[in-house]
Protein backbone atom coordinates (compact mmCIF):
# COMPACT_ATOMS: atom_id res chain seq x y z
CA UNK A 1 0.00 0.00 0.00
CA UNK A 2 2.80 2.39 0.96
CA UNK A 3 4.66 1.68 -2.25
CA UNK A 4 1.53 2.30 -4.26
CA UNK A 5 0.90 5.59 -2.49
CA UNK A 6 4.46 6.57 -3.32
CA UNK A 7 3.89 5.73 -6.97
CA UNK A 8 0.96 8.15 -7.09
CA UNK A 9 3.14 10.86 -5.60
CA UNK A 10 6.06 10.35 -8.01
CA UNK A 11 7.38 13.81 -8.84
CA UNK A 12 9.31 12.70 -11.90
CA UNK A 13 6.14 11.31 -13.46
CA UNK A 14 4.33 14.43 -12.25
CA UNK A 15 6.76 16.73 -14.06
CA UNK A 16 6.29 14.81 -17.30
CA UNK A 17 2.51 15.07 -17.13
CA UNK A 18 2.84 18.78 -16.32
CA UNK A 19 5.01 19.37 -19.34
CA UNK A 20 2.38 17.65 -21.51
CA UNK A 21 -0.22 20.02 -20.02
CA UNK A 22 2.02 23.00 -20.78
CA UNK A 23 2.37 21.81 -24.35
CA UNK A 24 -1.40 21.50 -24.76
CA UNK A 25 -2.00 24.96 -23.28
CA UNK A 26 0.78 26.75 -25.15
CA UNK A 27 -0.79 29.79 -26.83
CA UNK A 28 -4.31 28.52 -26.09
CA UNK A 29 -7.18 30.69 -24.87
CA UNK A 30 -7.83 30.53 -21.11
CA UNK A 31 -9.36 27.28 -19.87
CA UNK A 32 -11.28 27.29 -16.59
CA UNK A 33 -11.67 24.01 -14.74
CA UNK A 34 -13.61 23.50 -11.56
CA UNK A 35 -12.61 21.08 -8.84
CA UNK A 36 -15.94 20.26 -7.27
CA UNK A 37 -14.79 18.65 -4.07
CA UNK A 38 -13.18 20.34 -1.06
CA UNK A 39 -10.70 17.51 -0.69
CA UNK A 40 -9.45 18.28 -4.19
CA UNK A 41 -9.23 21.99 -3.32
CA UNK A 42 -7.09 20.99 -0.38
CA UNK A 43 -4.84 18.61 -2.41
CA UNK A 44 -4.35 21.21 -5.14
CA UNK A 45 -3.45 23.84 -2.53
CA UNK A 46 -1.07 21.55 -0.68
CA UNK A 47 0.65 20.43 -3.87
CA UNK A 48 1.03 24.04 -5.00
CA UNK A 49 -0.51 23.12 -8.35
CA UNK A 50 -2.16 26.46 -9.03
CA UNK A 51 1.29 27.96 -9.33
CA UNK A 52 2.79 25.08 -11.31
CA UNK A 53 0.21 25.01 -14.11
CA UNK A 54 0.33 27.45 -17.06
CA UNK A 55 -1.14 30.92 -16.48
CA UNK A 56 -3.94 30.31 -18.97
CA UNK A 57 -5.21 27.28 -17.05
CA UNK A 58 -7.38 28.45 -14.16
CA UNK A 59 -8.65 26.17 -11.39
CA UNK A 60 -11.85 27.20 -9.65
CA UNK A 61 -13.17 25.69 -6.42
CA UNK A 62 -16.70 24.36 -6.47
CA UNK A 63 -19.55 23.84 -4.02
CA UNK A 64 -18.40 20.43 -2.77
CA UNK A 65 -17.51 21.20 0.79
CA UNK A 66 -20.47 20.53 3.09
CA UNK A 67 -19.54 23.10 5.73
CA UNK A 68 -19.64 25.91 3.15
CA UNK A 69 -23.14 25.20 1.86
CA UNK A 70 -24.95 24.25 5.08
CA UNK A 71 -27.53 26.95 5.91
CA UNK A 72 -26.82 29.24 8.86
CA UNK A 73 -30.25 28.35 10.22
CA UNK A 74 -29.17 24.72 10.47
CA UNK A 75 -26.24 25.69 12.67
CA UNK A 76 -28.55 27.85 14.81
CA UNK A 77 -31.03 24.98 15.21
CA UNK A 78 -28.26 22.57 16.25
CA UNK A 79 -26.90 25.09 18.76
CA UNK A 80 -30.41 25.55 20.22
CA UNK A 81 -30.78 21.79 20.66
CA UNK A 82 -27.50 21.65 22.58
CA UNK A 83 -28.62 24.52 24.80
CA UNK A 84 -31.87 22.64 25.50
CA UNK A 85 -29.85 19.83 27.09
CA UNK A 86 -29.73 17.51 24.10
CA UNK A 87 -26.38 15.93 23.23
CA UNK A 88 -25.36 17.11 19.76
CA UNK A 89 -22.81 15.00 17.89
CA UNK A 90 -21.00 16.51 14.95
CA UNK A 91 -18.05 16.22 12.61
CA UNK A 92 -15.36 18.58 13.92
CA UNK A 93 -15.53 20.97 10.99
CA UNK A 94 -18.99 22.19 11.87
CA UNK A 95 -18.06 23.50 15.31
CA UNK A 96 -16.72 26.88 14.20
CA UNK A 97 -19.12 27.54 11.33
CA UNK A 98 -21.00 30.78 11.88
CA UNK A 99 -24.77 30.30 11.83
CA UNK A 100 -27.16 33.18 11.29
CA UNK A 101 -27.06 34.23 14.95
CA UNK A 102 -24.83 31.76 16.82
CA UNK A 103 -22.48 28.81 16.36
CA UNK A 104 -21.84 25.44 17.98
CA UNK A 105 -18.70 26.89 19.52
CA UNK A 106 -20.78 29.52 21.28
CA UNK A 107 -23.38 26.99 22.38
CA UNK A 108 -20.58 24.91 23.85
CA UNK A 109 -19.22 27.92 25.74
CA UNK A 110 -22.71 28.35 27.21
CA UNK A 111 -22.62 24.75 28.44
CA UNK A 112 -24.34 23.10 25.52
CA UNK A 113 -23.17 19.51 25.15
CA UNK A 114 -21.43 19.15 21.81
CA UNK A 115 -19.46 16.01 21.06
CA UNK A 116 -17.10 15.80 18.09
CA UNK A 117 -16.95 12.43 16.35
CA UNK A 118 -15.66 11.09 13.06
CA UNK A 119 -18.51 8.66 12.51
CA UNK A 120 -22.26 8.38 13.09
CA UNK A 121 -21.49 5.09 14.83
CA UNK A 122 -20.20 7.09 17.81
CA UNK A 123 -23.61 8.78 18.05
CA UNK A 124 -25.35 5.40 18.10
CA UNK A 125 -23.02 4.23 20.88
CA UNK A 126 -23.74 7.34 22.94
CA UNK A 127 -27.47 6.86 22.50
CA UNK A 128 -27.17 3.22 23.61
CA UNK A 129 -24.99 3.94 26.61
CA UNK A 130 -26.56 7.13 27.92
CA UNK A 131 -30.18 7.80 28.67
CA UNK A 132 -30.65 11.29 27.25
CA UNK A 133 -31.55 12.40 23.74
CA UNK A 134 -28.77 12.36 21.16
CA UNK A 135 -28.88 14.23 17.84
CA UNK A 136 -26.35 13.57 15.08
CA UNK A 137 -25.64 16.41 12.66
CA UNK A 138 -25.90 14.65 9.32
CA UNK A 139 -24.11 16.84 6.80
CA UNK A 140 -22.16 15.84 3.73
CA UNK A 141 -22.65 14.57 0.20
CA UNK A 142 -23.30 11.16 -1.28
CA UNK A 143 -20.24 9.71 0.45
CA UNK A 144 -21.59 10.40 3.93
CA UNK A 145 -25.35 10.19 3.38
CA UNK A 146 -25.40 6.37 3.21
CA UNK A 147 -23.67 6.17 6.61
CA UNK A 148 -26.44 8.29 8.12
CA UNK A 149 -29.04 6.09 6.45
CA UNK A 150 -27.42 2.92 7.79
CA UNK A 151 -27.43 4.41 11.30
CA UNK A 152 -31.15 5.26 11.04
CA UNK A 153 -31.87 1.67 10.02
CA UNK A 154 -29.84 0.39 12.97
CA UNK A 155 -31.63 2.74 15.38
CA UNK A 156 -34.98 1.64 13.98
CA UNK A 157 -34.08 -2.04 14.33
CA UNK A 158 -32.89 -1.58 17.91
CA UNK A 159 -35.76 0.75 18.87
CA UNK A 160 -33.21 3.36 19.91
CA UNK A 161 -35.74 6.12 20.49
CA UNK A 162 -33.35 8.66 21.98
CA UNK A 163 -31.36 8.81 18.72
CA UNK A 164 -32.19 11.09 15.80
CA UNK A 165 -30.46 12.83 12.91
CA UNK A 166 -30.70 16.46 11.79
CA UNK A 167 -30.24 16.04 8.07
CA UNK A 168 -28.58 18.52 5.75
CA UNK A 169 -27.23 16.11 3.13
CA UNK A 170 -26.73 17.37 -0.39
CA UNK A 171 -26.27 15.84 -3.81
CA UNK A 172 -23.48 16.82 -6.18
CA UNK A 173 -24.90 16.37 -9.72
CA UNK A 174 -27.80 18.86 -9.32
CA UNK A 175 -25.32 21.52 -8.15
CA UNK A 176 -23.21 20.95 -11.25
CA UNK A 177 -26.31 21.41 -13.38
CA UNK A 178 -27.04 24.70 -11.63
CA UNK A 179 -23.48 25.90 -12.31
CA UNK A 180 -23.82 24.98 -15.99
CA UNK A 181 -27.26 26.64 -16.27
CA UNK A 182 -25.87 29.95 -14.98
CA UNK A 183 -25.47 32.43 -17.85
CA UNK A 184 -22.28 33.71 -16.14
CA UNK A 185 -20.85 30.20 -16.09
CA UNK A 186 -17.21 30.19 -17.12
CA UNK A 187 -16.41 26.55 -16.39
CA UNK A 188 -15.21 24.47 -19.31
CA UNK A 189 -14.48 21.21 -17.50
CA UNK A 190 -14.87 19.48 -14.14
CA UNK A 191 -12.53 17.52 -11.89
CA UNK A 192 -15.22 15.28 -10.42
CA UNK A 193 -15.21 14.15 -6.79
CA UNK A 194 -13.51 10.79 -6.28
CA UNK A 195 -15.15 9.65 -3.10
CA UNK A 196 -18.70 10.78 -3.89
CA UNK A 197 -18.28 8.73 -7.07
CA UNK A 198 -17.44 5.53 -5.15
CA UNK A 199 -21.14 5.62 -4.19
CA UNK A 200 -22.91 7.13 -7.23
CA UNK A 201 -20.58 5.91 -10.00
CA UNK A 202 -19.98 7.93 -13.15
CA UNK A 203 -23.37 7.78 -14.88
CA UNK A 204 -24.99 10.72 -12.97
CA UNK A 205 -22.40 13.09 -14.51
CA UNK A 206 -23.00 12.07 -18.12
CA UNK A 207 -25.34 15.03 -18.68
CA UNK A 208 -22.35 17.38 -18.48
CA UNK A 209 -20.98 15.99 -21.72
CA UNK A 210 -24.31 15.05 -23.34
CA UNK A 211 -26.26 18.23 -22.64
CA UNK A 212 -23.61 20.89 -22.11
CA UNK A 213 -20.71 19.55 -24.15
CA UNK A 214 -18.43 19.92 -21.13
CA UNK A 215 -16.00 17.15 -20.10
CA UNK A 216 -15.53 15.75 -16.61
CA UNK A 217 -12.95 13.42 -15.10
CA UNK A 218 -13.44 11.52 -11.84
CA UNK A 219 -10.13 11.85 -10.02
CA UNK A 220 -8.29 10.66 -6.94
CA UNK A 221 -6.43 12.97 -4.61
CA UNK A 222 -2.71 12.32 -5.05
CA UNK A 223 -0.37 14.37 -7.25
CA UNK A 224 -0.55 11.96 -10.19
CA UNK A 225 -4.33 11.57 -9.87
CA UNK A 226 -4.92 15.30 -10.14
CA UNK A 227 -2.42 15.85 -12.95
CA UNK A 228 -3.81 12.97 -15.01
CA UNK A 229 -7.29 14.49 -14.65
CA UNK A 230 -6.02 17.93 -15.68
CA UNK A 231 -4.18 16.55 -18.67
CA UNK A 232 -7.19 14.57 -19.79
CA UNK A 233 -9.54 17.57 -19.41
CA UNK A 234 -7.19 19.95 -21.20
CA UNK A 235 -6.71 17.45 -23.98
CA UNK A 236 -10.46 16.96 -24.45
CA UNK A 237 -11.15 20.69 -24.38
CA UNK A 238 -8.36 21.50 -26.84
CA UNK A 239 -9.53 18.84 -29.24
CA UNK A 240 -13.21 19.75 -28.96
CA UNK A 241 -14.19 16.46 -27.34
CA UNK A 242 -16.45 16.04 -24.31
CA UNK A 243 -16.84 12.88 -22.28
CA UNK A 244 -17.08 11.84 -18.66
CA UNK A 245 -14.08 9.67 -17.80
CA UNK A 246 -13.07 7.74 -14.74
CA UNK A 247 -9.41 8.23 -13.79
CA UNK A 248 -9.87 6.77 -10.29
CA UNK A 249 -10.55 3.20 -11.29
CA UNK A 250 -8.91 1.73 -8.22
CA UNK A 251 -11.99 2.66 -6.13
CA UNK A 252 -14.63 4.05 -8.49
CA UNK A 253 -16.84 1.61 -10.42
CA UNK A 254 -19.11 2.83 -13.23
CA UNK A 255 -22.21 1.71 -11.33
CA UNK A 256 -21.05 3.02 -7.92
CA UNK A 257 -22.02 1.10 -4.80
CA UNK A 258 -25.56 -0.23 -5.34
CA UNK A 259 -25.94 -1.51 -1.80
CA UNK A 260 -25.10 1.90 -0.31
CA UNK A 261 -27.49 3.58 -2.74
CA UNK A 262 -30.27 1.16 -1.78
CA UNK A 263 -29.82 1.90 1.91
CA UNK A 264 -29.80 5.62 1.16
CA UNK A 265 -33.02 5.33 -0.89
CA UNK A 266 -34.69 3.26 1.83
CA UNK A 267 -34.27 6.03 4.42
CA UNK A 268 -34.22 9.22 2.35
CA UNK A 269 -36.23 10.85 -0.38
CA UNK A 270 -34.76 13.43 -2.74
CA UNK A 271 -36.10 16.97 -2.21
CA UNK A 272 -35.42 20.57 -3.27
CA UNK A 273 -32.89 22.13 -0.91
CA UNK A 274 -31.33 25.51 -0.14
CA UNK A 275 -27.57 25.79 -0.47
CA UNK A 276 -26.08 28.56 1.59
CA UNK A 277 -25.13 31.51 -0.59
CA UNK A 278 -26.26 29.70 -3.74
CA UNK A 279 -29.99 29.32 -3.25
CA UNK A 280 -32.57 26.64 -3.85
CA UNK A 281 -31.48 23.80 -6.12
CA UNK A 282 -34.18 21.41 -7.36
CA UNK A 283 -33.86 17.80 -6.18
CA UNK A 284 -30.47 18.42 -4.60
CA UNK A 285 -31.04 17.36 -1.00
CA UNK A 286 -32.22 14.47 1.10
CA UNK A 287 -35.02 14.28 3.65
CA UNK A 288 -35.87 11.40 5.99
CA UNK A 289 -38.87 9.41 4.73
CA UNK A 290 -42.05 9.40 6.81
CA UNK A 291 -41.53 5.77 7.89
CA UNK A 292 -38.45 6.86 9.80
CA UNK A 293 -39.80 10.18 11.11
CA UNK A 294 -39.16 9.03 14.68
CA UNK A 295 -35.45 9.35 13.94
CA UNK A 296 -35.71 12.67 12.13
CA UNK A 297 -34.70 15.45 14.53
CA UNK A 298 -36.51 18.03 12.40
CA UNK A 299 -39.82 16.21 12.99
CA UNK A 300 -39.09 15.21 16.55
CA UNK A 301 -38.24 18.72 17.74
CA UNK A 302 -40.29 20.70 15.20
CA UNK A 303 -37.30 22.34 13.54
CA UNK A 304 -37.67 24.37 10.37
CA UNK A 305 -34.31 25.31 8.93
CA UNK A 306 -34.13 28.70 7.28
CA UNK A 307 -31.36 31.26 7.17
CA UNK A 308 -29.52 30.67 3.95
CA UNK A 309 -28.14 34.14 3.63
CA UNK A 310 -24.42 34.74 4.08
CA UNK A 311 -22.80 37.09 6.60
CA UNK A 312 -22.87 40.67 5.25
CA UNK A 313 -20.21 41.27 2.60
CA UNK A 314 -19.32 37.61 2.15
CA UNK A 315 -19.17 36.35 -1.45
CA UNK A 316 -19.00 32.59 -0.76
CA UNK A 317 -21.95 31.99 -3.10
CA UNK A 318 -20.10 33.42 -6.09
CA UNK A 319 -16.88 31.69 -5.07
CA UNK A 320 -18.63 28.32 -4.89
CA UNK A 321 -20.22 28.78 -8.32
CA UNK A 322 -16.82 29.57 -9.82
CA UNK A 323 -17.83 33.15 -10.68
CA UNK A 324 -15.35 34.81 -8.27
CA UNK A 325 -12.03 33.65 -6.96
CA UNK A 326 -11.50 33.91 -3.18
CA UNK A 327 -8.92 36.70 -3.51
CA UNK A 328 -11.48 38.71 -5.50
CA UNK A 329 -13.73 38.97 -2.44
CA UNK A 330 -13.15 42.42 -0.89
CA UNK A 331 -12.98 40.92 2.61
CA UNK A 332 -10.43 38.22 1.72
CA UNK A 333 -7.31 38.46 3.88
CA UNK A 334 -8.47 41.78 5.30
CA UNK A 335 -11.51 41.37 7.48
CA UNK A 336 -11.78 37.68 6.74
CA UNK A 337 -8.94 35.33 7.72
CA UNK A 338 -8.81 31.76 9.07
CA UNK A 339 -8.27 33.20 12.57
CA UNK A 340 -11.29 35.49 12.23
CA UNK A 341 -13.47 33.98 9.52
CA UNK A 342 -16.43 35.98 8.24
CA UNK A 343 -17.93 33.42 5.89
CA UNK A 344 -18.18 29.63 5.83
CA UNK A 345 -15.58 29.21 3.03
CA UNK A 346 -12.92 30.59 5.35
CA UNK A 347 -13.85 28.45 8.35
CA UNK A 348 -13.11 24.93 7.35
CA UNK A 349 -9.57 23.88 6.44
CA UNK A 350 -10.93 22.61 3.13
CA UNK A 351 -13.01 25.69 2.31
CA UNK A 352 -11.99 27.48 -0.88
CA UNK A 353 -11.07 30.76 0.87
CA UNK A 354 -9.14 29.07 3.68
CA UNK A 355 -7.10 27.00 1.23
CA UNK A 356 -6.44 30.04 -0.91
CA UNK A 357 -5.32 32.02 2.12
CA UNK A 358 -3.13 29.27 3.53
CA UNK A 359 -1.31 28.60 0.27
CA UNK A 360 -1.04 32.24 -0.73
CA UNK A 361 -2.93 31.93 -4.00
CA UNK A 362 -3.84 35.01 -5.95
Partner 1 sequence: MCVSVPGQVIEIDGTSGKVDVAGNTVEADFSFLPDVKPGEYVLVHAGFAIQKYDQAEALETLRLLREAYQVTS
Rounded-to-5 percentages of helix, strand, coil across the chain: 45, 20, 35
Q: Which helix (H) or strand (E) holds 173?
A: helix 172-181
Q: Which residues pair with 58 in a beta bridge?
A: 32
The rounded distance, in Å, linking the Cα atoms of 227 and 220 is: 10
Stretch that binds ligand SF4, among 177-185, 221-229, 266-274, 338-346 (CB under 6 A): 338-346
Q: Which is nearer to ligand SF4, 60 or 342 (by Cβ)?
A: 342
Residue 95 contacts which entry, ligand SF4, partner 1, none (Cβ below 5-8 A, type-dependent): none
Dihedral angle over CA of 194, 236, 51, 1, nearest 10 = 40
Exposed, middle or buried by CB within 10 Å (0-12, 13-18, 19+), for 294? Answer: middle
Q: Which residues pair with 295 in a beta bridge?
A: none
The rounded distance, in Å, linking the Cα atoms of 289 and 295 is: 10
Minimum CB separation from ligand SF4 for residue 329, in Å? 3
Minimum CB separation from partner 1 for residue 36, in Å? 11
User: Across the chain, how many H-helices and E-strands are there?
Assistant: 18, 11
Exposed, middle or buried by CB within 10 Å (0-12, 13-18, 19+), for 185? Answer: middle
Residues at the contact surface with partner 1, assessed by CB under 8 A: 1-2, 4, 7-8, 10, 12-13, 16-17, 20, 37-39, 64-67, 91, 93, 118-122, 139-141, 143-144, 146-147, 150, 193, 195-196, 198-199, 224, 228, 249-253, 257, 259-260, 263, 348, 350
Minimum CB separation from partner 1 for residue 38, in Å? 7
Q: Which residue is nearest to ligand SF4 (CB)?
A: 343
- Here's the x/- map for ligand SF4, 300-319, by CB under 6 A: it reads as --------------xxx--x
Q: Which is nearer to ligand SF4, 204 or 351 (by Cβ)?
A: 351
Is 138 among the residues that bind ligand SF4 (CB under 6 A)?
A: no
What are the residues binding ligand SF4 (CB under 6 A)? 314-316, 319, 326, 329, 331-332, 336, 342-343, 345-346, 353
Amino acid sequence: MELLAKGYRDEDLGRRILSRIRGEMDGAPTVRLMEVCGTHTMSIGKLGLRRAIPYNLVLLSGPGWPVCVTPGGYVDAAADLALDGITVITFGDMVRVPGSRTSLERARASRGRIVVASSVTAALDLARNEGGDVVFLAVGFETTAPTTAAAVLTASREGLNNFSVLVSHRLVPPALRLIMDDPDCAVSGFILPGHVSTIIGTEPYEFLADEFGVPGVVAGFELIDVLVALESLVHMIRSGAAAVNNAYTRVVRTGGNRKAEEIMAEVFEVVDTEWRGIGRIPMSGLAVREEYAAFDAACKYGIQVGGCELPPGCSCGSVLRGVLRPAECPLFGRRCTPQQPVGPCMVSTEGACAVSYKYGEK
